[in-house]
Structure 1
Amino acid sequence: MLVLDSARTDTARARRATVRFLRDRCPWADVHDVLLVVSELLGNAVRHTDGDWLLHMTCRRESLVLEVHDSSTDRPIPRDGDPVDGGGFGWGIVEELTSSVTVRPHAAGKAVRAVWHPADAATRA
């Protein structure tokens, strides 16, 4: 299990820890796909909230589960990407690179849960 929060680390270190975790604990996962999703979710937590986040990742034989908690109750809003001014691509990327993604509100904000299954990861490879 990997647990990190914004009070003790920053997003760059969280990405490096994610890579180490995947290489050590989840060899079937596509490191690039997971890292892109982690970067997107942490980036959104920093950009669209007060900046506090909690990352929780577990890997088992049947799934890799990533949860990013932040302080906003607002759900991500899918929108068309804007190649000129930027933005709008992230949520579509998260949906495309995961087996499933859900958003769950809670008392302190929300949790975005991304799940990967080995069979889905093998299909994308």
Structure 2
Amino acid sequence: MYVMESPPGDSISVRSVTAGFLAEHCPWVDRDAVQLVVTELTANAVRHTQGWWRLRLRAEADELCVELDDGSTRAPEVRAPDFTGGGGFGWPMVLSLAGRVEVRRRAYGKTVRAVWARS
């Protein structure tokens, strides 16, 4: 398992960290899809919460699990895309790219879990 705490002002480094983890532990997974999901989840945490997040990557023999904690108890929701810069694109993308997505509310906020099964 790999855990990454939110670096101040930096949600971009998660792409390279995720790529390295996948190359070592999950070469079978669609790396671009996982990196995009991780990027969207961290960007949403920065944009829609107080900005902190915690990423956990866990590889098993038959699945990859990505979990992102943040400080908001509000669950992500599908909304109409706003082409003037208001967003609405990321959550539908996460739902379509991951095999399974779960949202769990916690006392401190929530955990979004995306899972990919090895086929």
TM range (shorter): over 0.9
What does residue 96 of structure 2 align with?
96
Partner AA of 1:85 in structure 2: T
- Structure 1 segments, 4+ long, off by >4 Å, are none
What does residue 74 of structure 1 align with?
74
Q: Could you tell me the percent identity over the aligned residues?
A: 46
More helix by share: 1
What does residue 85 of structure 1 align with?
84
Q: Offset at 1:26?
A: 0.5
The number of aligned residues is 118
Q: Which runs of 5+ in 2 are unaligned?
A: none
Deviations for 1:69-107, whole angstroms, at most 9, x for unmatched residues? 00000000101223x314111111101001100100001
Deviations for 1:45-83, whole angstroms, at most 9, x for unmatched residues? 00001100000010112110000000000000101223x
Partner AA of 2:76 in structure 1: P
Q: TM-score, normalised by structure 1?
A: 0.89
Q: Distance in 2 between matches of 1:71 and 1:61?
A: 31
Moved more, 84-93 or 70-79: 84-93
Please state if 1:39 is matched with 2:39: yes
Q: Distance in 1 between matches of 2:17 and 2:48?
A: 23
What does residue 6 of structure 1 align with?
6
Q: Give SS of 1:11's match.
A: coil
Partner AA of 1:93 in structure 2: M
| Structure 1 pair 9–59 and aligned structure 2 pair: CA distance change class (3 A) | farther
Matches within 5 A, 1:99-110: 99-110=99-110
Q: Distance in 2 between matches of 1:116 and 1:75?
A: 21
What does residue 111 of structure 1 align with?
111
